[in-house]
Amino acid sequence: MKTVDLCDVKKIVQRYRDKKGVLIPLLQEIQSEYGFVPEESVNVISKELGIFPVEIYGILTFYAQFYLVPRGKYTIRVCQGTACYIMGGKEILDHISNKLGVEVDGTTNDGLFSLERVACLGCCGMGPVVVVGEDFHGRCTIQEGEKILEEYRVKGTE
Amino acid sequence: MTTKIFVCMGTSGISSGAEEVVRIFEQELEKHNVIDTCKIVRTGDRGLFRDVLVDIITPKLGRITYEYIKPENVPQIVEEHILGETPVKKFQAGEDYQQFFADQKRIVLSNCGEIDPENIEEYIASRGYDALKKIFAITPDQIIESVEKSGLKGRGGAGFSTGLKWKFCKNAQGNPKYIVCNADEGDPGAFMDRSILEGDPHSVIEGMIIAGYAIGATQGVVYCRAEYPLAIKRLNKAISQAKEKGFLGANILGNNFSFDITIAQGAGAFVCGEETALLASIEGRRGMPKPKPPFPAQQGLWGKPTVINNVETFANVRHIIMHGAEWFSSVGTQNSKGTKVFALAGKIKNTGLAEVPMGTTIRQLIYGPGGGMVRKKIGFKAVQMGGPSGGCLPESLLDIPIDYESLNRTGAIMGSGGIIIMDQKTCMVDVARYFLAFTVEESCGKCVPCRIGLKRMLEVLEEITAGRGKEEHLDFLQEMGESIKETALCGLGNTAPNPVLTTLKYFKDEYIAHIKEKKCPAGVCVDLLKFEVIQEKCVKCGQCYKVCPVGAVEWKKKEYAAINKEKCTKCKSCIMACEFGAIE
Ligand SMILES: Cc1cc2nc3c(=O)[nH]c(=O)nc-3n(C[C@H](O)[C@H](O)[C@H](O)COP(=O)(O)O)c2cc1C
């Protein structure tokens, strides 16, 4: 694995010095910079802010939003809210997982797709919903799910 | 300006392509040289899912609503409606649209889909911040009394009196005090708070400022789930606009009262909707609930007295201040006052947000705004209310009024107002399993009943749906469910058994079919399905053939379908598509 350039982490951490309750927004900012929270950044935060690494990992593992490993180019999120679930969202998730050959939360070997389930996106009227990156695909079916994958596969390898 | 064009641009509008629709409108208006006499208003979502909704108001035609608008429809609308002054009939919203809004009473949602949420002037023009201007002429105690007398109860789930909560906090020892707005909205199937924040963020801000003045707080925090980026963006914008206008910040409107609001983002944990866990999360810790008392009103954020209310609760406040407690309490039932916003979804014709007076029956909601079932042939089976903390109710209970007390008696709850309509193709055992899988996943693990008890219940449900159920499982589920309700630490565990207990109560037959006959009557539980076509029921329509993603269905015109089991991946696309129950 290539080493991560930590300059930005240091810069970000400076802005959170001497404030209380900063750990979550700080980690969110680091994640939005790097796409995940690199292990090395935990040590930097720990040293700079005097917080034990165990406390930082406590946060990182408690909240579903944080990733400790890099993500694929496109994140596919399949909504598993109640409405999407009863409209067939589970079957779409299973099918995509099969097609990509990855489990939920996994990333394909080519680094193109990460697959996630999400509890509810609040678009229940459009269910079942599949989101790729920021793009919503409402009233999805398994067949459309396949088409969407193909589209992004082409786009991603261009 | 003679013509106004409203385009609904909340998350659902935008994800259906509203931005492109606006772009084409601008382009066309420019092309025809009428851009200077037309104003495009980007509103929040109005509550009904109709892909892109567009309203056009002209002096001659008044207001006309178009639904399901695609970018390619726009040139025709501009030419015929705006230039030619004749509405384009085929895009006009139909009867369903009218029916959706007919029986609603929109107080909290009154601005959603009607104003540009990113322009404070439009909020002000809708009498926004009038309530704030009014409070400086009365005392904090008078405000609290008014909110208490109005009968407003918290819309976040527990239904505690908002006025009383404020009073406890005001009287509590400790300084500073805090106002926290709970915008975590984690219940799958609930999206009213998101729509309010996206469509009318100032109404929430105004409610929070009034609450701050009433209890003597100078700092407010909105805790919003990270899955709602648009809501966060609009809220941020609204806060800075309110500051510029002097509604927020130091010495509000020249008075001796200062109040500020910041936003804290959630990080993906359902349990953080629980108030003590939420406060822990704002403080930068793992979101684990604490035993109560002490209540947040006594010891909340950073150990100081804190009022924590839901988005919709705050959005009601300005209306109470403006129109008075009597006005508010004239709507609703004896013990549940005002309106409630419900999120209708599932197998229903009109999905979206409907705001109705408390006391409306579930049936009125489903067959009024909801427009009834999507596929009439398949028929209603159950309504799920209150998300993972709520329950599934059968047809026979549809006539109970929606108020806190009546719902609690059934074993369901009001919760945040999510209502999912299920038809005969939804398996009640599987739904119970689904909710339990959710709560097991989201349990913070602090207390044993929730961490281990729910897991045991889930394992049993998985056995049943896999066809390995035993009769004694039913007693186990009942007993375990009841004891978790009694003993769990927080609301998550206290209510998590509800989906199981209510389905056991009202749909026991279905459990028994799974256990004794090894059958899933709804055709959902894969391990109990044979994936065979029942020729007596098959009408040879070929729907199953069309939807099969792996080409496992063999069918020719005027012939029965058949399923090739070698190719079949058991995805159930065919079963879901068949309207005749011909695949088992
Ligand atoms: C597991 C759990 C999740 C909750 N999620 C939410 C939520 O997403 N939004 C909310 O307003 N209240 C939620 N609540 C209720 C809050 O604890 C609290 O009662 C509420 O924010 C108080 O505001 P209100 O009186 O205005 O309803 C949740 C409670 C529990 C136990």
Task: For B399-428, write each residue's pLDDT tens digit.
Answer: 999 999 999 999 889 989 999 999 999 999
Indicate if B164 and B292 belong to the same structural domain. Answer: yes
Indicate if A79 and A153 belong to the same structural domain. Answer: yes
Indicate if A30 and A10 belong to the same structural domain. Answer: yes
Indicate if A55 and A78 belong to the same structural domain. Answer: no
Q: Is the CB of B157 under 6 A from ligand 1?
A: yes
Which residues form the domain of A44?
6-62
Give the CA diameter of chain B. Answer: 81
Peptide bond into B229 cis (omega under 30): no
Indicate if B370 and B448 belong to the same structural domain. Answer: no
CA distance B391 to B505: 10
Structural domains in chain B (count): 5
Structural domains in chain A (count): 2
Q: pLDDT of A35-67, one tens digit each?
A: 999 999 999 999 999 999 999 999 999 999 999
Q: How far apart are the first and last CA of chain B?
A: 61
Indicate if A36 and A102 belong to the same structural domain. Answer: no
The full DSSP string for A18-46 is T-SS-HHHHHHHHHHHHSS--HHHHHHHH
Predicted pLDDT at B88: 97
Q: Whose Cα sits closest to atom 12 in ligand 1?
A: B156
**Substitution candidate for ligand 1 out of B310, B313, B317, B494 with most atoms within 8 A of CB:** B310
Q: Ligand 1 mean position to B127 CA, how many Å?
A: 29
Residues in chain A with CB shorter than 8 Å from the CB of B418 are 82, 124
Determine what percent of chain B is predicted with pLDDT higher than 70: 100
Q: Which residue of B has its CA nearest to A67?
A: B267
- Nearest ligand 1 atom to alpha carbon B314: 26
What is the arithmetic mean of pLDDT over B331-342? 96
CA B325 to chain centre: 26
Q: Ligand 1 mean position to B225 CA, how many Å?
A: 13
Is the pLDDT confidence value at B381 over 60? yes
Q: Is the CB of B186 under 6 A from ligand 1?
A: yes
Indicate if A35 and A87 belong to the same structural domain. Answer: no
- Report which of B279, B241, B249, B273 is spatially closest to residue B387, judged by C-alpha positions: B273
Q: Whose Cα sits closest to atom 6 in ligand 1?
A: B273
Is the pLDDT confidence value at B230 over 70? yes
State the smallest CA–CA distance between residue B401 and chain A in angstroms.
23
Is the pLDDT confidence value at A20 over 70? yes
Indicate if B66 and B35 belong to the same structural domain. Answer: yes
Indicate if B168 and B316 belong to the same structural domain. Answer: yes
Q: Could you tell me the CATH number of the domain that includes residue B286?
A: 3.40.50.11540
Facing B188 at nearest CB: one of A21, A82, A95: A82
Indicate if A82 and A52 belong to the same structural domain. Answer: no
Confidence tier at B61 by pLDDT (50, 70, 90): very high
Residues in chain A with CB shorter than 8 Å from the CB of B265 are 24-25, 28
Q: Do B422 and A86 lie within an 8 Å CB cutoff? A: yes
SS (H, E, C) B30-95: HHCCCHHHEEEEEECCCCECCCCCEEEEECCCEEEEECCCCHHHHHHHHHHHHHCCCCCHHHECCH
Predicted pLDDT at A1: 46
Indicate if B61 and B147 belong to the same structural domain. Answer: no
Q: Is residue B209 part of a domain?
A: yes
**Substitution candidate for ligand 1 out of B150, B161, B182, B316 with most atoms within 8 A of CB:** B182
From B279, B294, B325, the end of a domain falls on B325
Q: Whose Cα sits closest to atom 31 in ligand 1?
A: B491
CA distance B408 to B391: 10
By three-state DSSP, how is residue B318 classified?
helix
CA distance B530 to B69: 42
Q: Could you tell me the CATH number of the domain that includes residue B29?
A: 3.40.30.10
Q: Is residue B89 part of a domain?
A: yes
Q: What is the average pLDDT value for chain B, to the nearest integer?
A: 95
CB atoms within 10 A of CB B75: 15
Facing B573 at nearest CB: one of A85, A91, A136: A91
Number of A/B CB contacts below 8 angstroms equals 146
Residues in chain B with CB shorter than 8 Å from the CB of A32 are none
Is the pLDDT confidence value at A153 over 70? yes
Sign of CA dihedral B544, B549, B554, B559: positive
The full DSSP string for A73-105 is SEEEEEE-SHHHIIIIIHHHHHHHHHHHT--TT
Q: pLDDT of A92-151, one tens digit each?
A: 999 999 999 999 999 999 999 999 998 888 788 788 999 998 888 888 999 999 999 999
